[in-house]
């Protein structure tokens, strides 16, 4: 199993998202997992659920659970859509709550 498939399985990444790259930095003891949104997929407004045309993307990162002793960071260019009702809004990502810098699994671990 290769690194992209391994992290896709571990993180539960499903279409329209996919693991684009995994970078191991031994000196910093860090793993960076780069997720990408399929260019063919049409995104939905997070407020009303309407399928909307893409507008642009915003680079985001989230702290995830460690991979062994290595700090793990999830990175993605998150699409923003142009909604007729809500103007330009960032779509929701399945691994984190809106506005959070941590994945949902990391937040659950900290809360526990």
* Cα angle 8, 52, 15; round to 5: 15
Residues 73-102 have pLDDT tens digits of 999 999 999 999 999 999 999 999 999 999
Query: What residues make up the domain containing 102?
Result: 3-111
| Model pLDDT, residue 39 | 85
pLDDT band at 43 (very low <50, low <70, confident <90, very high): very high
Distance CA 108, CA 106 (A): 5
Q: What is the CA radius of gyration of the chain?
A: 15
Q: Is residue 1 over pLDDT 70?
A: no
DSSP 8-state secondary structure symbol assigned to residue 92: P
Residues 13-27 have pLDDT tens digits of 999 999 999 999 999
Number of separate domains in the chain? 1
pLDDT band at 40 (very low <50, low <70, confident <90, very high): confident
Listed in sequence order, the residues at least 6 apart from 17 whose beta carbon sits closer than 8 Å to its beta carbon are 35, 36, 37, 38, 76, 93, 94
* Cα angle 87, 98, 10; round to 5: 130
Give the number of residues written for the chain.
112
């Amino acid at each position: 199993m290769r690194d992209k498939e391994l992290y896709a399985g571990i993180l539960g990444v499903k279409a329209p998202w996919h693991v684009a790259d995994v970078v191991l930095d031994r000196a910093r003891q860090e793993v960076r997992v780069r997720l990408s949104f399929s260019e063919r997929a049409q995104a939905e407004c997070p407020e009303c659920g309407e399928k909307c045309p893409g507008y642009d993307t915003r680079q985001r990162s989230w702290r995830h659970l460690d991979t062994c002793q290595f700090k793990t960071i999830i990175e993605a260019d998150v699409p923003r859509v142009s909604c007729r009702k809500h103007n330009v809004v960032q779509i929701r990502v399945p691994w984190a709550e809106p506005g959070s810098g941590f994945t949902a699994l990391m937040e659950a671990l900290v809360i526990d």
